[in-house]
Structure 1
């Protein structure tokens, strides 16, 4: 008589709904990803303080100095969607490392530049590399943290780092330029970028094999051209005005190319941007809000920096230090967003953040030409930091909610593109509004400081309007549930 045998244990089947984790040290991996994102955000603002010194040493006039900024912004904003889709096709880790390597190389070339042409070329390479790096980094974050609670915590850190990068640009730019020269604002990227390149492959597994597919080159060409034309038009308005042939022509090109892109995406079998992705109402609302937050944020940081130095007479270092309370509030709130969302819900948290941001900007608009920091600026900048921290993180969370792993790079490209276009839109429209108000006050015999203060006041009120518009859109949007575990099979409707 034979003894009954126990069935051999079967190897558990791996469900396609629960993909293998990309890292066993995901919080350390997040730190490395956040470092790279910090460099991308920092580089959009750190150069501003160095421009006067840089211009004198390289012989660049005012128009050429503006192109030092534009040469970075145009390829960055224009290539983000392509970069996000490439990350989905060739692998998120792979493209992140390629983008980081390109960014480090371009930063070194910018620091070594001996002519304006060489510097502009390096800046364009920086922007193109950032467009590969940024969406791939956000896609990796969504894969490392798959539950809503963990992802919210990770995005809180992500938002805090982005806020620090935006606010720290003025401070670091002043310190590095004053002590080490203008080239230091570019060389500072090199050791940090090399650290990222060495550490990340040890922390995140290789990209899983993907089915090779044809890249939608006509769609890529038209959407890149449309975004570059739109950002170029908005950026040129500040310099030449609304009615100049340059912004008018670029706006027309953006409309034509954008229309062609939509037609191509409707007809192609493998679109660069599947239009069905916008059926995800959270993604759509998140991107609309991010566009408006970007418009308010970029214009506000520009005006605040100029107001502190031109009107109040702060030097570059003091102006940077005065923005530390704002950055600190932003970082603190970004870390608290998961708790806030758990108690109030996503919709209420986002509306409250946008209203707080608007309130801080309205308060800031009341600052006089002889403002004392503690009395007139500390309170409103703290409110602005609180509002930005909550709005940035919650809008980003919405934009990636329910997105499958195969479209994570696309979602990262979309949210970054929305922020870039919003920033260009806000700066173009509100800077022109401020200039018109300043001119009217000067014509009415106001002093220079009073006229400038009046112009900046209108700019801050305009930024508040963008924030309130975001709150209104969120209020009337349909209910926003947060998916617990986004998976490849999850519907995006």
Structure 2
């Protein structure tokens, strides 16, 4: 039986872990919220800043472009310099950038501030998951914490349009950026006080050539996906960006294969579960965010809803996010991540298939059922998929593993919005195009279910490799 002092210590440790989880979730919440909330703000910006549609599009794209292109670099920096310091720096950069966005007097200043904000976002995401992985010691605790982390991200993504519509109606468009300031300050204080440090990998260099190649590859890929439907896929900026992306990927792989201390150890992909989880992440984001883009257009352009009413109409999709993520964590802790990954993908695919019968005159109840299936399926899958990715990598490499997962998911999101969004170009052809898009998204989720069933059986660690931790050589294993 534990003494009273031991019971007090256990209680304090549990409270500290909870506050650490809140701190890490706050940073990730801001990043994901700002990825979706700006879509509601865009039409207002065009009017109030007296600018063009293309300029407003860059308000959205500049953030995503910088965010995606820096993820791998930040993952490597977190492993080498310490994830807590990188995360705290990210909170400072993101909070200051949000204030600059809210105070911007012109669209040019706003775009520059959004670039700064994208840097902050990249500094937050890989370290947040790595720190979470080191804060919770047992696999069961980590699985449940990742379930909460994933649930917070799902809520942020799904409720962004609602929050944006409410803030615009009450306080104006600037409040959609300024709301991050108190959240960022609270996150900084909680992180500094309650989040512990993670081991550093003190290697000989920072692999600068690979970092530059990775930035170029992700940056050009994201640019092409975001601008392809706008400029046309045959336009020279698009095909040249894709060509540069391909060359940069080849250069990246050659550099990493020969590097003595690679930024991205290719041995991570020796784990079938790690590789499968990353592919599933790309597929899920492709379908979900492509759907989210189209549904916003459907409610506003076809149904005639206001931005606020559109956000409220999307609540069925976000209403089950927290429950599904919590349940995924519980199920994964008991039977492993394979079951929720398969079931979540199948439920999401069923939701997409129901969306195929939706048109202007369809009762909202049917649309509601479809959105609930998509939202639940995505949210039930994501924590398990994230757990598979992180647990399949050595704990000391959790930051770069997180960066790989999130870089792939960002690329999947951009591709989904670009390719599925291009199917609904005109109002007259919107419904047929939406149905084709929903069929494609459903098939993508079915592929994810099949891949999860056959590749994710038992989480095995990636091939071990020798690095230095705090200047002492060790062999990393799971």
Output the TM-score relative to the length of structure 1.
Answer: 0.89
Structure 2 stretches lacking a partner, 5+ long: 1-11
How do 1:36-55 and structure 2 match up within 5 A? 36-55=27-46
Aligned to 2:297: 306
Change (3 A) 1:342 1:139: closer
State the match for 2:439 in structure 1. 461
Worse overlay, 36-45 or 202-211? 202-211
Do 2:329 and 2:383's aligned partners in 1 also have CA atoms closer than 8 Å? no
Specify whether residues 209 and 348 from structure 1 end up closer, same or farther in structure 2 by C-alpha distance, changes over 3 A only. Answer: closer
CA contact (8 A) 1:174 1:316 kept: yes
Q: Does 1:73 align with 2:64?
A: yes
Deviation of the 1:480 alpha carbon: 2.5
1-structure distance, mates of 2:54, 2:440: 26
- Offset, 1:241: 2.1
Flag the 1:135–1:209 CA change in 2: closer, same or farther, 3 A.
closer
| Structure 1 counterpart of 2:259, from 232, 255, 268 | 268
Alignment partner, residue 481 of structure 1: 459
Q: 1:154 aligns with which of 145, 149, 152?
A: 145
Aligned to 1:329: 320
- Kept after mapping to 1: 8 A contact 2:356/2:439: yes
> Which shows bigger deviation, 356-365 or 459-468?
459-468
| Distance across 1 between alignment mates of 2:48 and 2:456 | 55
1:491 aligns with 2:477: yes
Aligned pair partner of 2:430 in 436, 449, 452: 452
The residue that corresponds to 2:343 in the other structure is 352
For residues 226-283 of structure 1, the C-alpha deviation after alignment (integer angstroms, 9 at most, x for no partner) is 1101111111112122211111000000001111111111111111111111112221
Q: Distance in 2 between matches of 1:269 and 1:343?
A: 39
Q: Does 2:399 correspond to 1:421?
A: no
- Which one of 40, 45, 48 corresponds to residue 57 of structure 1? 48
1:401 pairs, out of 391, 406, 430, with 391
Distance in 1 (CA, whole Å) between partners of 2:314 and 2:305 is 12
- Residue by residue over 1:376-434, the C-alpha shift from the partner in whole angstroms, topping out at 9 and shown as x without a partner, is 21111111111011111111111101322321110111111011000011111111233
Equivalent runs, 1:182-261 vs 2, <5 Å: 182-207=173-198, 211=202, 213-261=204-252
Q: Which moved more, 1:287-296 or 1:172-181?
A: 172-181
Q: Relative to structure 1, is the Cα distance of residues 360 and 180 closer, same or farther in structure 2, using a 3 angstrom cutoff? A: same
Corresponding residue of 2:8: none
TM-superposed CA distance for 1:146, in Å, is: 3.0
- Identify if the C-alpha distance between structure 1 residues 387 and 207 changes in structure 2 by more than 3 Å, giving closer, same or farther: closer
Equivalent-residue separation in structure 1 for 2:123 and 2:14 (angstroms): 21
What is the Cα deviation at residue 471 of structure 1?
Answer: 1.5
How far 1:348 sits from its partner (Å)?
2.7
- Rounded to whole Å, the distance in 2 between the matches of 1:98 and 1:341 is 32
Cα distance change of structure 1 residues 206 and 156 upon mapping to structure 2, 3 Å threshold = closer
Structure-1 residue corresponding to 2:9: none
Match of 2:74 among 76, 80, 83: 83
Q: Distance in 2 between matches of 1:140 and 1:22?
A: 16
Distance in 2 between residues matched to 1:463 and 1:364, nearest whole Å: 10
Deviation at 1:144, TM superposition (A): 1.2
Q: For residue 212 of structure 1, report the CA deviation from its aligned partner.
A: 5.3
Task: Return the offset for 1:295.
Answer: 0.5
Higher mean displacement: 222-231 or 399-408: 399-408
- Note if contact 1:91-1:208 (Cα within 8 Å) is conserved in structure 2: yes
SS of the aligned residue for 2:290 comes to: helix
Provide Cα deviations, 1:424-483, integer angstroms capped at 9, x if missing partner. Answer: 111111112333xx5xxxxxxxxx4x6322222222222112211211222332632378
Instruction: Report if the CA contact (8 A) 1:362-1:460 is conserved.
Output: yes
Greater displacement, 141-150 / 285-294: 141-150
Instruction: Give the superposed CA RMSD.
Output: 2.1
CA deviations on 1:34-86 (whole Å, 9 max, x unpaired) are 11111000001111111122122222201111101110000100000001111
Q: Deviations over 1:343-373 (max 9, x none)?
A: 5542232111101101101101211212221
TM-score (norm 2): 0.91
Q: CA deviation at 1:23?
A: 8.4
Q: For 1:107 and 1:342, locate their aligned partners in 2 and report how far apart those are by CA, in whole Å.
A: 37
Unaligned runs of at least 5 residues, structure 1: 1-20, 439-447
Change (3 A) 1:326 1:482: farther
Q: Does structure 2 retain, via aligned residues, the 8 Å contact 1:104–1:189?
A: yes
What CA distance in whole angstroms lies between the structure 1 residues aligned with 2:38 and 2:270? 39
**Secondary structure in 2 matching 1:25:** helix
* Whole-angstrom distance in 1 between the partners of 2:338 and 2:423: 31
Aligned partners of 2:158, 2:340: CA distance in 1, in Å?
23
* CA drift at 1:342: 4.8
Aligned 8 A contact 2:346 2:449 in 1:
yes
Equivalent of 1:115 in 106, 111, 114? 106
Residue number in structure 2 paired with 1:443: none
Partner-residue secondary structure (3-state), 2:398: helix
Corresponding residue for residue 5 of structure 2: none
Aligned to 1:410: 400
